[in-house]
Structure formats: structure tokens, C-alpha cells
Amino acid sequence: MTIAPPAVPVLAGDVWRASEAAHEARARALTSAHRERAARGEAHPVEDFLFTYYSYKPSVLHRWHPGEGVELADAAADPRAAWRWYRPGMTEDSISVDGAGFRAERGALVANVCRILRATADRAPGFGCFGLHEWAMVYRQPQHRHPVPLRLGQDATDAVVEVHELRCTHFDAFRFFTPEAAPRNRETPTRERQADLEQPGCLHAGMDLYKWAVKLGPLVPGELLLDAFELARDIRVLDMRASPYDLADWGYDAVPIETAEGKAAYVRAQRTFADRGGVIRRRLIDVSAG
């Protein structure tokens, strides 16, 4: 007996175009302030970080994809039919994401993303770092990454680092530690050890879900991409509020992790982000696993 292949969902033209328009409106709302500042030659130490650190232009967020395994009806004459990683669908006027072609060319990347995501998801979250990675990046360092004054001053900031154990597990945070701070860290993260050390309580691991979503390109549905970006944006706010920088002039009150109350507030927020990140991470695992 011949078993028919499973039916592929087909989105009618008016349905997917409405989804595309809603995505574009949401993306514009998320990027408008950054684009306006860029046009004026201005920069924001908190809100512009995701566009500079990850080097992805706002246009990446604006482009909607339905994700793999979905057909778009009434699309053969649409401009997206000529986009890379799209192919004709099963019907005369439909198109779909060319997941097989993407995986054939970028299989190693997809496999590595999936490996890191799975390893992170399988690990218990840790909540004892208290955001001290930002403090370690200015430890005994007169020149700082951000042109913002230190909330406690240099000496008191250094003292906070010296009375705490540094527990950073994320290489892309650890690599910015000052030379004096790096030996104080409990681990020595490297790019090669990323899948061995990444854990879901880490703020940077949560922010990186946006990076992984971008790297998976058209395999990722537009809604998931924007969900990952919004999580990264919200995490960045906590990251800087808990940092040694004084951001009062930018409208941010501090989460003073040098105090017991500040530590508790940080961990509460960290747990919420870990829960949000867990949902997105599982969805990205499903996407990357195919």
C-alpha cells in the first residue's frame, strides 16, 4: 500500500499577506526609534546595543517568512518568489521556503545551532551570577565600553567585583572581561566549549536566541523571530540596569546587585527571562531539527 505524504499547509493569499503586513508593522514599531536615532547620528547605550553587537540591520527584522513546510498560495508572481531560499510550491501559483536547499548549503551551521540550543535546554538554569559580567568588563579599567559614568565610581565598582565570585559561563561576555577580571572567573569559557557551558539562566544565552533565529534565516517564522528580538531587547534593559553604569539620565533606575535586595530583584527577573527563553529555545530547536 502506498502511503501518501502528509499534506502541506497552504495559506491563502489574503491570509499570508495579512500576516506579512502585521509583521512589518510590528517590526517597524520595534526598530523605529533606532532608525530615527541613526538618521540623526545619535546612539543609545541600551536600546541600540542589539543592532551594533549583533550587526543585523533593521531590515532583517522587517522581512517576514512563513517558516518551513508552509505553502503560500497566489504567490508565483509576488516579488518574494524571486527571493533566495524560495521555490515553487506543489500547486501552480504557490511558493514555499526551500528548506532543503538552505540545509544543503548551510547544514553545518544549522547543526551547530541545534547542538547549542539542545545542550542549553537540557541543562539546569543557574541564577547566581547576578550580572557581574558587566562589572568585570570595567574592573580596574579607566576606559569603559560605554560613555556613561559608573554609578559607584571606579574604586567602589572594583570592590564589588573583589567581594563576589564571578560565575560567567558565556564566552561572548567573558571575552570582554578586563585582563585583571578574567582570572577571577570560576570558568574559562571558550568558543569551543560553548555547548558544554551554555545554560538557560544566562542573560546572554537568552539574548543570543535572537542571533540563532537570524542565522536560521527563512526556516524561522516571522513571529518567532520578533519574539526572540523582543526577549533580547527586554534582557538588555535588565543587563544594563544591573550594570555598574549610572543610567538615570537615560531614564533607567538601577538594580543594585551589590545589595541583597538588588540580587533578589535580579534573580526574579532572570527567572522570568529564563522561562520566556525556554519557550523560544524549544521552538528554535524544532525549526533547526527539521
- pLDDT at position 91: 84
Q: Specify the residue for cell string 516571522.
A: 222
Question: How many angstroms separate the CA atoms of 113 and 239, rounded?
Answer: 24
Cα distance between residue 169 and residue 188, in whole Å: 8
Q: What is the Cα–Cα distance from 103 to 215, expressed in whole angstroms?
A: 12
How is the chain split into domains, by residue range? 10-289
Report the C-alpha gap between 289 and 129 in whole angstroms.
31
The pLDDT assigned to 7 comes to: 66
Beta-carbon contacts of residue 177 (< 8 Å; ≥ 6 apart): 133, 136, 137, 139, 166, 168, 185
Instruction: Write down the pLDDT at residue 94.
Output: 95
Per-residue pLDDT of the chain (290 residues; tens, 9 = 90+): 444 445 678 999 999 999 999 999 999 999 999 999 999 999 999 999 999 999 899 999 999 999 999 999 999 889 999 999 999 998 889 999 999 999 999 999 999 999 999 999 999 999 999 999 999 999 999 888 778 999 999 999 999 999 999 999 999 999 999 999 999 999 999 999 999 999 999 999 999 999 999 999 999 999 999 999 999 999 999 999 999 999 999 999 999 999 999 999 999 999 999 999 999 999 999 999 98
Cα 247 to Cα 45: distance, rounded to the nearest angstrom: 9
With b meaning 16 or more CB within 10 Å and e meaning fewer, what string describes 181-205? bbebbeeebeeeebeebbbbbbbbb
Q: Mapping DSSP to helix (H, G, I), strand (E, B) and coil, where does residue 86 land?
A: strand
Question: If 0-12 CB within 10 Å is exposed, 13-18 middle and 19+ buried, where does residue 222 land?
Answer: buried
What are the strands of the beta sheet with 95-97, ordered from one edge? 10-11, 71-72, 95-97, 86-88
The pLDDT of residue 2: 45
